[in-house]
Amino acid sequence: MSKFLLSSLTVAVLAGFSAQAQTAPAQPNDFIQVFAKLFGEHQGVRKGHAKGVCAVGDFTPSAAAAARFDAALFSSATVPVTYRFSMAGGNPNVPDYARSPRGLGAQFTLADGSKHNIATLTTPVFGAKNPENFLGLLKASVPGVDGKPDLAKIQAFRAAHPDTQPQAQWLAANPPPWSYATAEYFGIHTFYLADKSGEKAKIRWHLQPKDGVKGLTEAEIAQQNANFLDERLKQRLTDGAVEFDWIISFGEANDSDIDPSQQWPERPTLNAGTLRIKASGDASCSNINFDPNVMSRGFSASADPVLRMRSPAYAISFGKRLSGQ
Residues tagged active-site: 49
Interaction mask 116-155, ligand HEM, x per CB under 6 A: ---xxx----x----x--x---------------------
List, in order, residues 6 or more apart from 56 with CB less than 8 Å away. 80, 81, 82, 83, 277, 278, 279, 280, 282, 284
Name the 3-class secondary structure at 95.
coil
Cα 138 to chain centroid distance, Å, stands at 16
Q: Which of 47, 51, 161, 204 binds ligand HEM (CB under 6 A)?
A: 47
Note whether 309 binds ligand HEM by CB under 6 A.
yes
Give the range of 57-65, 218-226, 249-257, 308-316 binding ligand HEM by CB under 6 A. 308-316
Give 68 or 94: the residue with its C-beta nearer to ligand HEM.
94
CB of 170 to ligand HEM, least distance (A): 13
Q: Which of 34, 42, 51, 52 binds ligand HEM (CB under 6 A)?
A: 52
List, in order, residues 6 or more apart from 284 with CB less than 8 Å away. 54, 55, 56, 82
Note whether 249 binds ligand HEM by CB under 6 A.
no
Whether the CB-CB separation of 49 and 87 falls below 8 Å is answered with yes
Note whether 204 binds ligand HEM by CB under 6 A.
no
Spatial distance between the Cα atoms of 312 and 282, rounded to a whole number of angstroms: 27
Spatial distance between the Cα atoms of 31 and 37, rounded to a whole number of angstroms: 10
CA-CA distances (angstroms) from residue 70 to 80, 246, 249, 272, 284? Answer: 20, 17, 17, 13, 30
Q: Which residues from 164-203 bind ligand HEM, rule CB under 6 A?
A: 188
Nearest to 86 by CA among 128, 126, 122: 122
Give the range of 5-13, 57-65, 152-160, 311-319 binding ligand HEM by CB under 6 A. 311-319
Residue whose beta carbon is closest to ligand HEM: 103
Interaction mask 17-36, ligand HEM, x per CB under 6 A: --------------x-----
3-state secondary structure labels for all residues of 198-257: CCEEEEEEEEEECCCCCECCHHHHHCCCCCCHHHHHHHHHCCCCEEEEEEEEECCCCCCC
Note whether 290 binds ligand HEM by CB under 6 A.
yes
Give 71 or 188: the residue with its C-beta nearer to ligand HEM.
188
Q: Which residues from 77-116 bind ligand HEM, rule CB under 6 A?
A: 84, 86, 103, 105
Spatial distance between the Cα atoms of 165 and 159, rounded to a whole number of angstroms: 8
Give 64 or 316: the residue with its C-beta nearer to ligand HEM.
316
List, in order, residues 6 or more apart from 207 with CB less than 8 Å away. 104, 120, 184, 185, 186, 244, 245, 246, 247, 275
Give the number of residues written for the chain: 325
Note whether 42 binds ligand HEM by CB under 6 A.
no
Give the range of 200-208, 237-245, 263-271, 309-317 binding ligand HEM by CB under 6 A. 309-317
> Using alpha carbons only, how large is the chain's radius of gyration in Å?
21
CB of 191 to ligand HEM, least distance (A): 11
CB of 299 to ligand HEM, least distance (A): 15
CB of 322 to ligand HEM, least distance (A): 9
Provide the binding-site residues for ligand HEM, judged by CB under 6 A: 31, 46-49, 52, 84, 86, 103, 105, 119-121, 126, 131, 134, 188, 260, 289-290, 306, 309-310, 313-314, 317-318, 321
